[in-house]
Structure 1
Amino acid sequence: MKTCSLTQAGRAAAFACALNCLGFAAAPARAALGDTATVPAGAAQRSIGGGAGRVVSYVDDNGTTINAYVGSAAGTVFAYTWQGPAQPNVGALLGRYAADWRSAAAALHATGRNGLHAARVDGAQVVVETAGHMRAYVGRAWLPAALPAGVSVGDLQ
Protein backbone atom coordinates (compact mmCIF):
# COMPACT_ATOMS: atom_id res chain seq x y z
CA MET A 1 0.00 0.00 0.00
CA LYS A 2 1.38 3.40 -1.00
CA THR A 3 1.34 6.16 1.60
CA CYS A 4 1.42 9.88 0.97
CA SER A 5 1.86 13.01 3.02
CA LEU A 6 -1.00 15.28 3.98
CA THR A 7 0.25 17.79 1.40
CA GLN A 8 0.10 15.17 -1.35
CA ALA A 9 -3.32 14.00 -0.18
CA GLY A 10 -4.58 17.60 -0.11
CA ARG A 11 -3.30 18.24 -3.62
CA ALA A 12 -4.89 15.03 -4.87
CA ALA A 13 -8.22 15.98 -3.31
CA ALA A 14 -8.03 19.53 -4.73
CA PHE A 15 -7.16 18.15 -8.19
CA ALA A 16 -10.03 15.65 -8.12
CA CYS A 17 -12.42 18.39 -6.98
CA ALA A 18 -11.23 20.75 -9.72
CA LEU A 19 -11.68 18.12 -12.45
CA ASN A 20 -15.12 17.31 -11.09
CA CYS A 21 -16.16 20.97 -11.02
CA LEU A 22 -14.75 21.66 -14.46
CA GLY A 23 -16.34 18.62 -16.00
CA PHE A 24 -19.81 18.92 -14.58
CA ALA A 25 -20.51 22.64 -14.13
CA ALA A 26 -23.79 24.07 -15.37
CA ALA A 27 -24.34 26.21 -18.48
CA PRO A 28 -23.48 24.19 -21.57
CA ALA A 29 -21.29 25.68 -24.27
CA ARG A 30 -22.91 27.08 -27.39
CA ALA A 31 -20.38 25.27 -29.62
CA ALA A 32 -17.30 23.25 -28.68
CA LEU A 33 -13.76 23.82 -29.91
CA GLY A 34 -13.50 22.83 -33.55
CA ASP A 35 -17.26 23.09 -34.11
CA THR A 36 -19.08 25.61 -36.27
CA ALA A 37 -19.82 28.66 -34.15
CA THR A 38 -23.30 29.61 -33.08
CA VAL A 39 -24.00 33.15 -31.91
CA PRO A 40 -26.21 33.41 -28.82
CA ALA A 41 -28.89 36.09 -28.82
CA GLY A 42 -27.52 39.35 -27.48
CA ALA A 43 -23.88 38.34 -27.93
CA ALA A 44 -21.36 41.09 -28.67
CA GLN A 45 -18.91 40.58 -31.54
CA ARG A 46 -15.62 42.17 -32.52
CA SER A 47 -12.92 41.45 -35.08
CA ILE A 48 -9.33 40.37 -34.26
CA GLY A 49 -6.15 39.68 -36.21
CA GLY A 50 -6.97 42.09 -39.00
CA GLY A 51 -10.22 40.26 -39.71
CA ALA A 52 -8.75 36.74 -39.48
CA GLY A 53 -11.13 35.99 -36.64
CA ARG A 54 -13.86 37.38 -34.48
CA VAL A 55 -14.69 37.24 -30.80
CA VAL A 56 -18.24 36.42 -29.76
CA SER A 57 -18.85 37.42 -26.13
CA TYR A 58 -21.74 36.40 -23.94
CA VAL A 59 -22.55 35.88 -20.25
CA ASP A 60 -23.61 32.41 -19.17
CA ASP A 61 -26.29 31.54 -16.61
CA ASN A 62 -23.74 31.76 -13.77
CA GLY A 63 -22.63 35.30 -14.62
CA THR A 64 -19.34 34.27 -16.24
CA THR A 65 -18.28 36.14 -19.37
CA ILE A 66 -17.29 33.71 -22.10
CA ASN A 67 -15.49 34.73 -25.28
CA ALA A 68 -15.59 32.34 -28.23
CA TYR A 69 -12.86 32.94 -30.83
CA VAL A 70 -14.06 32.07 -34.30
CA GLY A 71 -11.97 31.83 -37.46
CA SER A 72 -13.38 33.99 -40.25
CA ALA A 73 -12.47 31.57 -43.05
CA ALA A 74 -13.98 28.35 -41.67
CA GLY A 75 -16.38 29.75 -39.06
CA THR A 76 -15.16 27.28 -36.43
CA VAL A 77 -14.32 27.96 -32.80
CA PHE A 78 -10.55 27.81 -32.23
CA ALA A 79 -10.42 29.17 -28.67
CA TYR A 80 -12.39 30.15 -25.57
CA THR A 81 -11.61 32.51 -22.71
CA TRP A 82 -13.66 33.08 -19.59
CA GLN A 83 -13.78 35.27 -16.50
CA GLY A 84 -16.33 35.33 -13.74
CA PRO A 85 -17.70 34.02 -10.48
CA ALA A 86 -18.02 30.41 -11.65
CA GLN A 87 -16.04 28.06 -13.87
CA PRO A 88 -17.81 27.25 -17.12
CA ASN A 89 -18.22 23.63 -18.12
CA VAL A 90 -14.72 23.30 -19.58
CA GLY A 91 -15.42 19.76 -20.76
CA ALA A 92 -18.35 21.04 -22.84
CA LEU A 93 -16.28 23.93 -24.22
CA LEU A 94 -13.55 21.48 -25.27
CA GLY A 95 -15.94 18.97 -26.81
CA ARG A 96 -14.01 16.23 -28.59
CA TYR A 97 -10.74 17.62 -27.14
CA ALA A 98 -11.83 17.07 -23.52
CA ALA A 99 -10.32 13.57 -23.34
CA ASP A 100 -6.95 14.95 -24.51
CA TRP A 101 -7.13 17.62 -21.80
CA ARG A 102 -8.09 15.16 -19.07
CA SER A 103 -5.30 12.73 -19.89
CA ALA A 104 -2.72 15.55 -20.03
CA ALA A 105 -4.03 16.91 -16.71
CA ALA A 106 -3.73 13.47 -15.12
CA ALA A 107 -0.15 13.17 -16.39
CA LEU A 108 0.67 16.62 -15.00
CA HIS A 109 -0.85 15.69 -11.65
CA ALA A 110 1.15 12.45 -11.54
CA THR A 111 4.38 14.46 -11.77
CA GLY A 112 3.29 16.69 -8.86
CA ARG A 113 3.68 19.86 -10.92
CA ASN A 114 0.04 20.89 -10.86
CA GLY A 115 -0.84 24.04 -8.95
CA LEU A 116 -3.58 24.61 -6.44
CA HIS A 117 -4.91 27.90 -7.86
CA ALA A 118 -3.50 27.88 -11.40
CA ALA A 119 -2.65 25.28 -14.00
CA ARG A 120 -1.55 25.04 -17.59
CA VAL A 121 -2.27 21.75 -19.31
CA ASP A 122 -0.63 21.14 -22.69
CA GLY A 123 -2.43 18.30 -24.41
CA ALA A 124 -1.51 16.80 -27.77
CA GLN A 125 -4.07 19.03 -29.52
CA VAL A 126 -5.35 21.51 -26.94
CA VAL A 127 -3.91 23.88 -24.34
CA VAL A 128 -5.96 24.86 -21.29
CA GLU A 129 -4.98 27.46 -18.70
CA THR A 130 -7.11 27.95 -15.59
CA ALA A 131 -6.66 30.11 -12.51
CA GLY A 132 -8.57 31.68 -9.71
CA HIS A 133 -10.36 30.99 -6.51
CA MET A 134 -13.94 30.98 -5.31
CA ARG A 135 -16.02 33.63 -7.17
CA ALA A 136 -13.06 34.79 -9.31
CA TYR A 137 -12.17 32.37 -12.09
CA VAL A 138 -10.31 32.99 -15.34
CA GLY A 139 -9.11 30.71 -18.06
CA ARG A 140 -8.54 30.06 -21.70
CA ALA A 141 -8.44 27.06 -23.97
CA TRP A 142 -7.23 26.92 -27.56
CA LEU A 143 -6.23 24.69 -30.42
CA PRO A 144 -2.67 25.74 -31.36
CA ALA A 145 -2.92 24.17 -34.82
CA ALA A 146 -6.17 26.03 -35.56
CA LEU A 147 -5.01 29.59 -34.76
CA PRO A 148 -5.65 31.64 -37.93
CA ALA A 149 -2.75 33.51 -39.53
CA GLY A 150 -2.57 36.92 -37.89
CA VAL A 151 -3.93 35.72 -34.54
CA SER A 152 -1.54 34.93 -31.68
CA VAL A 153 -2.04 33.35 -28.27
CA GLY A 154 -1.60 36.86 -26.83
CA ASP A 155 -4.81 37.90 -28.60
CA LEU A 156 -6.79 35.38 -26.51
CA GLN A 157 -7.79 37.53 -23.55
Structure 2
Amino acid sequence: MLAVAAASLALVALAAPAYAALGAAPTYPVTASSTSAGAASQNSAAVARFAASGSAASAAYTVSQTTLPSGTVVSEYIGAGNTVFALSWQGPTMPPLKTLLAAYFPSYVQALTDAHATQGGGYGPAAVHQSALVVETGGHMGAFVGRAYLPQALPQGVSADDIK
Protein backbone atom coordinates (compact mmCIF):
# COMPACT_ATOMS: atom_id res chain seq x y z
CA MET A 1 0.00 0.00 0.00
CA LEU A 2 2.82 2.39 0.89
CA ALA A 3 4.63 1.53 -2.36
CA VAL A 4 1.49 2.35 -4.39
CA ALA A 5 1.15 5.70 -2.61
CA ALA A 6 4.82 6.52 -3.21
CA ALA A 7 4.53 5.57 -6.89
CA SER A 8 1.41 7.73 -7.26
CA LEU A 9 3.15 10.67 -5.62
CA ALA A 10 6.13 10.25 -7.96
CA LEU A 11 3.85 10.30 -11.02
CA VAL A 12 2.13 13.47 -9.79
CA ALA A 13 5.52 15.11 -9.24
CA LEU A 14 6.58 14.21 -12.78
CA ALA A 15 3.36 15.66 -14.19
CA ALA A 16 3.62 18.92 -12.23
CA PRO A 17 4.61 21.79 -14.47
CA ALA A 18 8.03 23.37 -14.05
CA TYR A 19 9.34 26.48 -15.70
CA ALA A 20 12.60 28.13 -16.64
CA ALA A 21 13.87 31.04 -14.66
CA LEU A 22 15.40 33.99 -16.45
CA GLY A 23 19.11 34.09 -15.69
CA ALA A 24 19.15 30.47 -14.48
CA ALA A 25 19.46 27.00 -16.00
CA PRO A 26 16.64 25.78 -18.27
CA THR A 27 13.90 23.77 -16.65
CA TYR A 28 13.51 21.17 -19.35
CA PRO A 29 16.45 19.10 -20.55
CA VAL A 30 17.95 20.23 -23.82
CA THR A 31 19.22 17.42 -25.99
CA ALA A 32 22.46 17.61 -27.96
CA SER A 33 20.68 16.75 -31.19
CA SER A 34 18.72 19.35 -33.09
CA THR A 35 15.07 18.87 -33.90
CA SER A 36 12.64 21.23 -35.49
CA ALA A 37 10.68 23.44 -33.13
CA GLY A 38 7.03 22.59 -32.81
CA ALA A 39 4.34 21.70 -30.34
CA ALA A 40 5.63 19.87 -27.32
CA SER A 41 3.96 18.16 -24.45
CA GLN A 42 4.13 19.43 -20.90
CA ASN A 43 6.99 17.09 -20.00
CA SER A 44 9.07 17.35 -23.15
CA ALA A 45 10.65 20.11 -25.18
CA ALA A 46 11.02 20.75 -28.87
CA VAL A 47 14.52 22.02 -29.45
CA ALA A 48 16.08 23.99 -32.26
CA ARG A 49 19.74 25.01 -32.42
CA PHE A 50 20.67 28.31 -33.97
CA ALA A 51 23.96 30.05 -34.65
CA ALA A 52 23.89 33.79 -34.18
CA SER A 53 24.85 35.65 -37.33
CA GLY A 54 27.95 37.81 -37.30
CA SER A 55 31.64 37.14 -36.90
CA ALA A 56 33.26 33.73 -36.88
CA ALA A 57 33.40 33.99 -33.09
CA SER A 58 29.64 34.41 -32.80
CA ALA A 59 28.05 32.40 -30.04
CA ALA A 60 25.57 29.59 -30.55
CA TYR A 61 22.38 29.44 -28.55
CA THR A 62 19.53 27.01 -28.21
CA VAL A 63 15.80 27.64 -28.20
CA SER A 64 13.78 25.09 -26.26
CA GLN A 65 10.00 25.26 -26.57
CA THR A 66 7.56 23.81 -24.06
CA THR A 67 3.78 23.81 -24.23
CA LEU A 68 2.19 24.37 -20.83
CA PRO A 69 -1.03 22.55 -19.87
CA SER A 70 -2.94 25.76 -20.71
CA GLY A 71 -1.70 25.61 -24.31
CA THR A 72 0.69 28.54 -23.91
CA VAL A 73 4.05 27.92 -25.58
CA VAL A 74 7.11 29.15 -23.66
CA SER A 75 10.43 29.41 -25.50
CA GLU A 76 13.65 29.37 -23.48
CA TYR A 77 16.70 30.97 -25.14
CA ILE A 78 19.71 29.20 -23.67
CA GLY A 79 23.22 30.54 -24.08
CA ALA A 80 26.69 29.85 -22.76
CA GLY A 81 26.85 28.20 -19.38
CA ASN A 82 23.44 26.61 -19.96
CA THR A 83 21.77 29.83 -18.78
CA VAL A 84 18.42 31.20 -19.96
CA PHE A 85 19.08 34.72 -21.29
CA ALA A 86 15.61 35.25 -22.76
CA LEU A 87 12.07 33.91 -22.76
CA SER A 88 9.11 34.37 -25.05
CA TRP A 89 5.56 33.11 -24.88
CA GLN A 90 2.32 33.01 -26.81
CA GLY A 91 -0.97 31.34 -26.09
CA PRO A 92 -4.40 31.51 -24.56
CA THR A 93 -3.19 32.39 -21.05
CA MET A 94 -0.36 34.36 -19.53
CA PRO A 95 2.45 32.17 -18.20
CA PRO A 96 3.40 32.49 -14.53
CA LEU A 97 5.66 35.54 -14.79
CA LYS A 98 6.61 35.34 -11.13
CA THR A 99 8.16 31.95 -11.79
CA LEU A 100 9.58 32.77 -15.22
CA LEU A 101 11.20 36.04 -14.16
CA ALA A 102 12.35 34.61 -10.80
CA ALA A 103 14.81 37.06 -9.20
CA TYR A 104 13.85 39.74 -11.76
CA PHE A 105 10.14 39.67 -10.88
CA PRO A 106 10.32 42.27 -8.05
CA SER A 107 12.01 44.85 -10.32
CA TYR A 108 9.42 44.11 -13.03
CA VAL A 109 6.54 44.70 -10.61
CA GLN A 110 8.17 47.86 -9.24
CA ALA A 111 8.68 49.27 -12.74
CA LEU A 112 5.04 48.57 -13.63
CA THR A 113 3.88 50.15 -10.37
CA ASP A 114 5.98 53.25 -11.05
CA ALA A 115 4.69 53.51 -14.62
CA HIS A 116 1.11 53.02 -13.46
CA ALA A 117 1.46 55.84 -10.93
CA THR A 118 3.03 58.31 -13.37
CA GLN A 119 0.69 57.49 -16.26
CA GLY A 120 -2.52 57.49 -14.23
CA GLY A 121 -3.30 53.80 -14.66
CA GLY A 122 -4.91 52.10 -17.59
CA TYR A 123 -5.02 48.80 -19.38
CA GLY A 124 -3.10 47.44 -22.30
CA PRO A 125 0.35 46.14 -23.09
CA ALA A 126 2.91 46.29 -20.30
CA ALA A 127 6.50 47.08 -21.05
CA VAL A 128 9.55 47.43 -18.85
CA HIS A 129 12.76 48.64 -20.49
CA GLN A 130 15.65 48.77 -18.04
CA SER A 131 19.37 48.31 -18.58
CA ALA A 132 19.28 44.93 -16.82
CA LEU A 133 15.80 43.71 -17.82
CA VAL A 134 13.34 44.07 -20.69
CA VAL A 135 9.83 42.62 -20.44
CA GLU A 136 7.11 43.21 -23.03
CA THR A 137 3.66 41.68 -22.73
CA GLY A 138 0.53 42.16 -24.76
CA GLY A 139 -2.42 40.57 -26.44
CA HIS A 140 -5.95 40.05 -25.28
CA MET A 141 -8.05 37.41 -23.59
CA GLY A 142 -7.28 34.10 -25.26
CA ALA A 143 -4.25 35.37 -27.21
CA PHE A 144 -1.33 36.58 -25.07
CA VAL A 145 2.21 37.21 -26.27
CA GLY A 146 5.36 38.46 -24.66
CA ARG A 147 9.06 38.26 -24.19
CA ALA A 148 11.63 38.95 -21.52
CA TYR A 149 15.37 39.16 -21.85
CA LEU A 150 18.52 40.30 -20.13
CA PRO A 151 20.20 42.81 -22.48
CA GLN A 152 23.63 42.32 -20.92
CA ALA A 153 23.36 38.52 -21.34
CA LEU A 154 22.54 38.47 -25.07
CA PRO A 155 25.22 36.43 -26.83
CA GLN A 156 27.46 38.26 -29.28
CA GLY A 157 25.68 38.70 -32.58
CA VAL A 158 22.21 38.22 -31.06
CA SER A 159 19.84 41.20 -30.98
CA ALA A 160 16.53 41.78 -29.25
CA ASP A 161 14.83 41.21 -32.61
CA ASP A 162 15.93 37.56 -32.46
CA ILE A 163 13.75 36.98 -29.36
CA LYS A 164 10.37 36.01 -30.83
Instruction: Tell me whether the two structures share a fold, i.e. TM-score over 0.5.
Output: yes
Q: Stretches of 4+ moved more than 6 A in 1?
A: none
1:47 aligns with 49
Q: Which residue identity is paired with 2:134? A: V
RMSD of aligned C-alpha atoms? 1.9
Q: Which residue identity is paired with 2:119? A: G
1:65 aligns with 73
> Residues 134, 81 of structure 1: CA spacing in aligned structure 2 closer, same or farther, 3 A cutoff?
same
1:133 aligns with 2:135: no
Q: Is the 2:77–2:87 Cα contact (8 Å) retained in structure 1?
A: yes
Structure 2 regions of 5+ residues with no counterpart?
1-15, 30-42, 54-58
2:35 aligns with none
* TM superposition score normalised by structure 2: 0.72
CA distance in 2, matches of 1:115, 1:143: 26
- 3-state SS in 2 of match to 1:117: coil
Larger Rg: 2
Structure 1 regions of 5+ residues with no counterpart?
1-26
CA distance in 1, matches of 2:78, 2:133: 16
Q: How many residues align?
A: 130
* TM superposition score normalised by structure 1: 0.75
CA distance in 1, matches of 2:103, 2:94: 19
CA distance in 1, matches of 2:130, 2:107: 6
